[in-house]
Structure 1
Amino acid sequence: MFKALEELVKALKERCDDVEVYLFGSYARGTWLEDSDIDLIVISKCFEGMGSEERYRYVRNLASKRLPFELLIYTPQEFEKVKKRSIVIQDAMEYWIKLT
């Protein structure tokens, strides 16, 4: 699973030079279970002009395997706004792991 995650991050970096990828949730805390999903925050200018569904498909299509992802995908401007009002993001920022 971690190899596939590394491959996804590499593919994102090849296509979006400004991409930031953060792991959060149970994998970042070290409390995952066998059926836990992988929680990622992905931030890049590459997503400007894309709707949320298109962003999700874009990232999912770069994954070599169908991994159990929970994806939060933002442009840098969107992330600056959402981090001030989203409890999920504020919590994630306490312990997330930067992958890029």
Structure 2
Amino acid sequence: MLRTFAERVKSVLGSVEVYLFGSYARCEWLNDSDIDIIVVSRGFKGLSLGERYAFLRRFLPPDRGFEILAYTDEEFEAVRKKSIVIQDASEYWIKIA
């Protein structure tokens, strides 16, 4: 599912990186767990967080919960240095694309 998602997003935005993190990446999910993903693309430049989320959500199943973090390349590099959540996730995330 996430590989297909990444391919579809890439077909529109061009360069894209997708990372799975959270309970699914750690194999600790429950039936009601959401799926946590980070999407990085220079195609997000100039878009608000809400616009990024709405764009990405179109490519995901409507019956599943997702936590989506969407960054430009520059934003991602900055947040990797400042965010404890992202620093922790980087130790176990799974790169999808």
Give me the TM-score of the superposition, normalised by structure 2.
Answer: 0.93
**Given the alignment of the two structures, is residue 25 of structure 1 paired with residue 22 of structure 2, yes or no?**
yes
Cα RMSD, aligned residues only? 1.0
**Residue in structure 2 matched with residue 43 of structure 1 by the alignment:** 40
> What's the offset of the Cα at 1:17?
2.2
Percent identity between matched residues is: 53
What number of residue pairs does the alignment pair up?
96
- Name the counterpart of 1:87: 84
Aligned to 1:13: 10
- Bigger proportion of residues as helix: 1
Counterpart in 1 of 2:50? 53
Cα distance in 2 for residues equivalent to 1:30 and 1:78: 28
Task: Give the TM-score, by structure 1 length.
Answer: 0.91
> Which runs of structure 1 show a deviation greater than 6 angstroms over 4 or more consecutive aligned residues?
none
